[in-house]
Homo-oligomer: A and B are copies of this chain.
Amino acid sequence: MKAAIITIGDEILIGQTIDTNSAWIGHHLHQLGIEIIENCSIQDKAQEIRETVDRLFKKSNFIIVTGGLGPTNDDITKETLTDYFGDELKMNEKVLGKIEDYFKKANKPMLEVHKSQALLPSQARVLENSLGTAAGMWFKDGEKNLISLPGVPYEMRQLITDTLPVIQEEFNIAAYYQRTVHFQGIVESTLADENSEFEKECRAQGIGMAYLPSVGIVRIRLTGKPEQKEEIDQRIEQIGSKYPKYCFGYDDINLAQAVGDLLSTKNVTVGTVESCTSGALAAKITSISGSSNYFMGSIVSYANRIKSDMVGVSTDDLIQYGAVSQQVVESMAKNGRKKLNVDYCISTSGIAGPGGGTPEKPVGTIWIAVDSEKGTFSRCFNFRHNRERNLESTVVYAMNFLRRVMLDLQS
């Protein structure tokens, strides 16, 4: 089973908008085992749309199109595709009712131009859009299938999510069974090196193994047939449990959620004292809805004066060791835990760059500490990225360091 994706809109071609839709759709179709043969971004021109659809139907019987479904004049996808499939537009009373409701609820006036959103091809299957006024459309001509969706990412995502089971059924796609394990603090090449035998064994069982790296994090995904559920569950557990320091969870989880779940389970509270990350660690912890149950607050001590006056770091230590030192970062965590009155306090101090580096402490030198009744633990990192990525790395390493201390895996 092959598919192609077309994105319509000048704003993508001139780089005003980064096309994230294709990656999102590609990822979800790929998970169903569908091979994506091409993504194509084209101009808002009827001739371009017709030619591209024609061309891609020669390579695949399944095309997904996003964009060009808005109510303004430069949105021509609906008219062009309806005409391409020899269909005609008719007022869809059910969709019209939904659009009227939508404007009533939003307390906005409904214009004639919005009403035209309910004009839909008479024979295509209408895919209802619960988040906006542009419905999706599934055109069919013999073996050829084309799904047209709005370009607004969250509307498109909802529509694809709703439609995936229908796609699976329509094309009689054998379901896949997939598990993912997440690691923080170990690099892809080390994992690959240490698990080459494991990978071979998986391959021999017909289980696919993929490494998915991002900043400070590597995921491993195992994919097989539904009847391989037991082997895959066993395999994913096998590789995850091999790395308790690094493995923070399975499947649809992220690090902030995993750490939050652990704090909730242990019924303890956390706070941060941040220098180089300047609140980014606190913001990441609270990116989880409900984090107010365990996250209390922070002191961002960017200036040394705040480190001494508000946090209580000794000025002697600041002078003798410098702000980026084990002594100062440990003192920040210890004093911060008392000031914020929390069970765990994480602190960060480092040189994010581009300025501020010295031969002894080059850009990317970052200290992280965690204080709790178990004691004070700290680590030094030497990141070698730009400012933004050094800080992003610090945030993920700090969150996992907290997890490790909570689980007595700090060393």
* C-alpha spacing A303/B191, complex, angstroms: 40
Task: Digitize A294-311: 1 where CB-to-B-CB distance is under 8 Å, 0 elsewhere.
Answer: 011111111101100110
- A contact residues vs B (CB 8 Å cutoff): 12-20, 22-28, 30, 36-43, 48, 55, 154, 212, 272, 274, 277-283, 285-287, 289-292, 295-303, 305-306, 309-310, 339-341, 353-355, 386-388, 391
Once A23-B18, A278-B283, A298-B299 are accepted as A-B contacts, the answer to whether A38 and B42 lie under 8 Å apart by CB is yes
A36 CB to closest chain B CB (Å) equals 4
Tell me which residues across on chain B come within 8 A of A25, comparing CB atoms. 15
Taking CB atoms, residues of chain B closer than 8 Å to A387 are 287, 289
A339–B28 alpha-carbon span in the complex (Å): 50
For A23, what are the chain B residues with a Cβ–Cβ distance below 8 Å?
Answer: 12, 15-19
CB distance from A103 to the nearest CB of B (A): 14
A100 to chain B, nearest CB (A): 20
A33 to chain B, nearest CB (A): 11
Are B19 and A38 touching (Cβ within 8 A)? no
Closest B residue to A277 by beta carbon equals: B283
User: Closest CB of chain B to A72's CB: distance in Å?
Assistant: 12
Contact residues in B for A40 (Cβ distance below 8 Å)? 38-41
Main secondary structure of the interface of A (DSSP, over half): mixed
Q: Which of B14, B30, B301 contacts A15, CB < 8 Å?
A: B30
Do the beta carbons of A38 and B13 come within 8 Å of each other? yes
Closest 7 pairs (CB-CB, A-B): A279-B279, A15-B27, A279-B282, A298-B300, A15-B26, A297-B306, A280-B283
Q: Which residue of B lies closest to A26 (CB)?
A: B15
CB atoms of B300 and A306 under 8 A apart? no
Instruction: From B43, B278, B310, give the contact of A286 (CB < 8 A).
Output: B278
Complex: how many Å from CA A212 to CA B154?
20
Residues of B within 8 Å of A38, CB to CB, are 13, 40-43, 48
- Residues from chain B with a CB closer than 8 A to the CB of A291 are 302
Q: How far, in Å, is A389 (CB) from chain B's closest CB?
A: 10
User: If A279-B278, A302-B295, A302-B296 touch, does A388 touch B287 (CB 8 Å cutoff)?
Assistant: yes
Chain B CB count within 10 A is highest, among A12, A285, A296, for A296
- Residue on B nearest A13 in the bound complex, by CB: B36
**Docked complex Cα distance between A14 and B31 (Å):** 9
- Residues of B close to A19: CB separation below 8 A: 18-19, 22-23, 39
Return the contact of A310 from the options B43, B280, B340 (Cβ within 8 A): B340
Q: How far is the CB of A244 from chain B (nearest CB, A)?
A: 26
Cβ contacts under 8 Å, A305 to chain B: 296, 341
B42 near A41 with CB under 8 A, answer no
Distance (whole angstroms) from the CB of A336 to the closest CB of chain B: 11
Residue in B28, B41, B289 whose CB lies within 8 Å of A353: B289
A20 surroundings in chain B (CB, below 8 A): 18
Option from B13, B22, B36, B303 in Cβ contact (under 8 Å) with A37: B13
